[in-house]
Structure 1
C-alpha cells in the first residue's frame, strides 16, 4: 500500500472516529434529557395522554412549568424521542418509544438507568481528585445511589426474583417454602430481602449492609409491608457471624473492600448443606473478551465512578471490572466452595448467576 493510500485511510478513520464522538455527545445530552424526563414524570405523563398535546397541556398534566417543559420537549423532538406536529404545535411519545422509557414498561424501562449518568456527572470532580491523589470516594458522596439502586433492581426483583432467579439454585425454592435461615450480603435498600420475606413467610431473612441510608430504606419498607420475618443489620460484610441455610448476594461482591474475606465469611456462616446464590455483572475477567459486549462501556463507567472507587475508599482491593466470570469462580473455589454452577437468564444479558455449595 502506498504512503498516499495510507494517509488517505488514516484521514478517513480519523473523520469516522470524530463523527462517532460527535454522535456520542448528542446521545449523552439526550440521556441527560431522558433522565430529567424520568425524574419529573414527563415521560410517564406523555405516555398517559390519549392524544397529541401542546406544551401547555403537557405541563398542566405533569404539574410543571410550561417554559421548561417546552424546551425539554424540543430536545426530545430533535433527539428523535418525541414526535412533533408543526401545524397544531403538538407533541406525542410513540408507543414503541414508551415501551422502553416509562415505568409502565416494567423491567424493559431504560429511563431509570439514565439517572445513573446524571449521578456520575455530579461525582466527577471527586473522581478526578482521586485519579491524582489515589484512594477512593466513599458512600456518603452518593446522595441518591441507594434510592436509585432500590428503584432499578425492584423492577427485576418484583417480576423475576421468586419465579426465575431463585429457582436457578436447584431445591432452593422448596427449602424456602419449608423454612430456612437466609442472609443477604450487601443488601442495600433491602428490596430483595423484603420480596423474598413476603413470598416465603416460613423463612427468616436478614439483610446486611454498611450503608446507613440503605438499611434505613430497607427497614422502612419492611415496616410498610408488615413483614415480621425480615430484619436488617448495619455491619461489615467481611465480618459475618451466625449460621444460615442460604446466603444471597446480588451485584455486590465486586464492590466490597475485602471480597475474598466476604466470600470466606459466607462459607463460614453457611451450613454444610447450604447454598450460596450470587448474582453479578456478566463481564469476562479478560478485557479483550468484553470488546463489543452489551453495555460494556457503561459497566466500566460504573466501575470508575462507583464500584472500584467505593472499594478503594475503605482500603479495599478495588476489583472493579477485574471481577468477572473467571475471577469470581476462582475466588469462590479459594473460599472453600466445592461446587460452583454458572448460569444465566435468557432475557437478562447483563447479569450472570453463581450457585455455590460447600
Structure 2
C-alpha cells in the first residue's frame, strides 16, 4: 500500500462530511416541503421555533430540531441574537417559489426515489438486466416530473423554442406538435398554453404518467386542444407533424436509433425535431469535477441505464451521452442536418431536420 498523503486524506474526509451532510438532509428537507415549514417561514418569518410550530400546527420539539438542522444545512437562516428563523430571498427561490428555475423540491424527492430503488438496481448489476420505468420506486415518475418542471417552466417557451429559427411564428400561426416521452405532461402543457393555435399530442409508454397528464390538461382547461396517449415511441402511427419534441428521454429508450428513424417518418418534409438532453461533454474526462455531470451520472446509474436495459435492444445511452454520440444516432437515422441550437446550465438543445 502506498504511503498516505495526510493532506489528501483530510481533504477527502472533509469533502465526504459535506456530501454526507447533504445526503442526511434529504429526509428532513422533504418533511419541510410536505409539512409547509419552508413556506411558513417565507410567509411569516422571522419566527421562533415555537411560533413556527404554532403556525404550522406541528409539535414544537420536532420543529425546533428541524429548524436547527436546516440552519446547519444553510437552507434557512438563524438570527443568533433573537433565535428566530427566516428565509433569505435566495433560499426562498430554492425552497418556496415553485416557478423559480432553481426550485429543488423534486430533486430531493428524486434522491429518495433512487434510494428506494437501490435493491432492484443492485440486482440488475448482478444479472445484467434492467429495471422497468415505474418499477424501481413508488412514484419515481412523479419525482422526475417535479425535478424537470422548473427548468421547463423557465426555458421551453422563453429560450428553447425560439432557438429554432422561425418556429415560434409557426407555433403562433398553428402547427401540429408531438411531444414524445412527455411523462406527466408538464412540457406539453407549457407549449399548449403558450401557443393556443397549435395542436399538441403527448405520448408516453407509461400509463400512470399519461393518467396524470390528462388530469393536468383537464385542470388547466385545455383538454380540447391537447391530448395524451399511452404509446411507445416506435408504435406511434400519426404522421405529418411540423414539430416533434423530446425532453430528457431519448437516452432512456431501449432503442434510440429505431426511435430516431421512426420520428423521421412522423415529420413533414420540412418538419423539425427538437431534442433536449442533459448537457454533457463528449470525453469522459470532461465530467470529472463537474457538479452537473456528477448529478447526472449518479441518476443515470440508478434510473436511466436500468430503464433502457429493461427495454428491447437496451442500448443504454445514459444521461451523459454527449452531443457527438447523439448526433451520430440522429444522422444514422437519416437526419441530414443536426446542430446544437442552444444550451443552458443543465441541458443542450439539438435541432434535427430530415
TM-score surpassing 0.5?
Answer: yes
Check if 1:174 corresponds to 2:169.
Answer: yes
Check if 1:116 corresponds to 2:113.
Answer: no
Change (3 A) 1:145 1:27: same
Return 5+ residue gaps in structure 1 as ranges: 1-5
Equivalent residue number for residue 356 of structure 1: 352
Equivalents in 2 of 1:96, 1:245: separation in Å? 40
1:241-260 alignment to 2 at 5 Å? Answer: 241-243=237-239, 244-260=241-257
Check if 1:270 corresponds to 2:271.
Answer: no
Out of 54, 58, 61, the residue aligned to residue 64 of structure 1 is: 58
Shift of 1:40: 2.7
Deviations 1:70-115 (A, max 9, x none): 2211211233333335665432233332233322561122343122
Shift of 1:326: 0.9
Q: Which moved more, 1:194-203 or 1:222-231?
A: 194-203
Out of 85, 91, 94, the residue aligned to residue 88 of structure 2 is: 94
CA RMSD of aligned residues (A): 2.2
Equivalent residue number for residue 184 of structure 1: 179
Out of 222, 231, 234, the residue aligned to residue 217 of structure 2 is: 222
Task: Give the TM-score, by structure 1 length.
Answer: 0.90
Check if 1:203 corresponds to 2:198.
Answer: yes
What is the SS of the residue equivalent to 2:235?
A: coil
Equivalent residue number for residue 233 of structure 1: 229
What is the SS of the residue equivalent to 1:320?
A: coil
Deviations 1:285-306 (A, max 9, x none): 4211212224211101110111
Shift of 1:283: 0.8
Task: Give the TM-score, by structure 2 length.
Answer: 0.91
What is the SS of the residue equivalent to 2:234?
A: coil
Equivalents in 2 of 1:86, 1:212: separation in Å? 51
Change (3 A) 1:301 1:241: same
Equivalents in 2 of 1:188, 1:105: separation in Å? 19
Deviations 1:17-39 (A, max 9, x none): 22222222122213443233223
Tell me the number of residue pairs that the alignment of Structure 1 and Structure 2 aligns.
350
Check if 1:304 corresponds to 2:269.
Answer: no
Equivalents in 1 of 2:294, 2:42: separation in Å? 30
Return 5+ residue gaps in structure 2 as ranges: none
Equivalents in 2 of 1:105, 1:196: separation in Å? 16
Equivalents in 2 of 1:261, 1:133: separation in Å? 25
Deviations 1:229-273 (A, max 9, x none): 111111111233221111000111000111111111100111111
What is the SS of the residue equivalent to 2:10?
A: helix
Change (3 A) 1:21 1:196: same
